[in-house]
Amino acid sequence: MIIRASNILITGGSMGIGKAAAKLLVESGANIAITGRDRKRLDKAAKETGAFPIVADVAMEKDIEYTYKIFLEKFKTLDCLINNAGIGGRFPLIEDLKLSDLESVYRVNVFGSALMASRAAALFKKQNYGHIVNIGSTSALKGEARSTVYSATKFALRAMTQAWQAELRKYNVRVIQINPSEVATAFGSDNHVERKAADNKLRSDEIAYTIKAVLEMDDRGFIPELSVWATNPW
């Protein structure tokens, strides 16, 4: 993919990985739109990255429709969707699990990602070209104690990624999943304040560079899945 002049839509771009990816891709010459639920935080990220802000919640189907309407009015075409929006929710013990725990996280991490990709796939099939990058987690590879809800959503995203790969390859659409291990972001923070990474831990920047790298490969090939770990986090 030639990133310069490409039109890229990033969900969850107010902070963390989404914001870092937006900044790097804008610097590489791409036209970027970012979505987020909080207008003040989103506008701040847009100013700092040069991205175009769209206030929207991927958990709301009407907001997904609105996102594509505004994006296409602004950029006319879509080259790449980066499904980055995600939440952790609660991490209950299995005996304390509630339906509401599942519903809230699934609406963002699974349903939102699926519906965003559905709209993108329809565009990509018509133009016989496109890219979907799903930001998963190493929790999609192995469940941990208290991760019933979060891991289940990331396992689901991984399964959907594989299904979309099978459906869309014949239309020259690359579907890629990137699995970060622990990254210092505002993830899981009630006050949405981003944490500073320790010198031996991953930052959002490492994942942003990974996104850029997988997109820059010539379109004749693609990396189906890639995991990023801190070298020595202990």
Tell me the sheet residues that pair with 32: 8
CA angle 82, 87, 90 (to 5 degrees): 160
pLDDT in the model for residue 197: 84
Question: Chain-centre distance of CA 142, in angstroms?
Answer: 20
pLDDT in the model for residue 31: 98
Task: Confirm if 34 and 14 have CB atoms less than 8 A apart.
Answer: yes
Helices (H), 28-112: 39-49, 61-75, 99-106
Q: Can you list the domains of the chain with their CATH numbers?
A: 7-228 (3.40.50.720)
Assigned token pair, 16: 């963390």
Query: What letter represents residue 67's amino acid?
Result: T
Would you write out the chain's pLDDT as a tens digit for each of its 234 residues? 999 999 999 999 999 999 999 999 999 999 999 999 999 999 999 999 999 999 999 999 999 999 999 999 999 999 999 999 999 999 999 999 999 999 999 999 999 999 999 999 999 999 999 999 999 999 999 999 999 999 999 999 999 999 999 999 999 999 999 999 999 875 655 555 666 888 999 999 999 999 999 999 999 999 999 999 999 999
Radius of gyration of the chain (CA): 17
Query: What letter represents residue 178's amino acid?
Result: I
What lies within 8 Å, CB to CB, of 68 at 6+ separation is 78, 119
pLDDT in the model for residue 229: 98
Q: How far apart are CA 41 and CA 34, in angstroms?
A: 11
